[in-house]
Amino acid sequence: MAIFGPRANLWMNTALVSVVVLFLGALLSIWVVPVMGYNTQERYAPEQPVPFSHRHHVTGLGLDCRYCHMTVETGQYAGMPPTETCMTCHSQIWTHAGVLEPVRQSFAENISLRWNWVYRLPDYVYFDHSIHIAKGVGCTECHVSIGDEALTRKTTTLYMSWCLDCHRNPAPHLRPLDQVFNPSWKRTANTPSGTALMTAYHIHPETLSDCGVCHR
């Protein structure tokens, strides 16, 4: 009696081909998934208690970044504004707007607004806003289109390779100190070169990518 039926070869070949296809598929997904926007959450704007628009406040009204993010020049965190900062204007204008109800409630009950984190770094990464500001890294180098965002969204991957791109070659990302908070700054012919700025700010890229710079 025959051990295998006439179709045995078909089954076997199908199985062998499937193994190869599955293997290649697994390989492909290992390579592709990490760079997919779905995985990196680029362009993702989390739900916020109030649909705050940077486009309106920064580009439209011309508020300085530091008006709300007060500790950005001195601290590790840029700082989220207390409700009182919002109320400096919104006690006078749009006092009955529905979208601002959480702000008024927060002010009345003296409970801070709970904004949802957009640019969230892992706990094992040390990041300090103030040093980047002090060394001429403009806000929009990382928060790319922040001044023009109707809803705040994550515009970068925040991958370690993304950090290292700049830490290994900072020159193209530097600007004069008076332009750091300009959300629409463009390099012009009169701008000092990146190398010149690097010298002026005493930036030494050869140590900038040491492990201990970020992983302390």
Residues that bind other proteins (CB under 8 A): 3-4, 8-9, 12, 30-32, 34-35, 157, 159-165
- Cβ 18 to other proteins, closest distance in Å? 15
And the tokens for 159? Answer: 């991958």
| 108 bridge partner residues | none
CA distance 138 to 173: 8
CB nearer other proteins, residue 64 or residue 165: 165
SS3 191: coil
Q: Of 98 and 122, which has the nearer Cβ to other proteins?
A: 122
The percent of the chain in helix, strand and coil, each rounded to the nearest 5, is 50, 0, 50
Angle 87-88-94 from CA coordinates, rounded to 5°: 60
Question: Shortest Cβ distance from residue 117 to other proteins (Å)?
Answer: 20
Give CA–CA dist 144/131, Å, rounded.
18
Q: Decide whether 157 or 191 has the Cβ nearer to other proteins.
A: 157
User: Taking a C-beta distance cutoff of 8 angstroms, is the pair 46, 94 a contact?
Assistant: no
Least Å distance between CB 30 and other proteins?
Answer: 5
**Considering the complex, what minimum distance in angstroms separates the CB of residue 154 from other proteins?**
15
Least CB distance from residue 146 to other proteins, whole Å?
23
Identity of the amino acid at 164: L
> 31 vs 117, which CB is nearer to other proteins?
31
Sign of CA dihedral 211, 209, 72, 56: negative
Max CA distance (Å), the chain = 95
Sign, CA dihedral 153-191-179-185, equals negative
Minimal distance in Å, beta carbon 13 to other proteins?
Answer: 9
Give whichever of 8 and 99 is closer to other proteins, judged by the CB atom.
Answer: 8
Closest to other proteins by CB, 94 or 162: 162
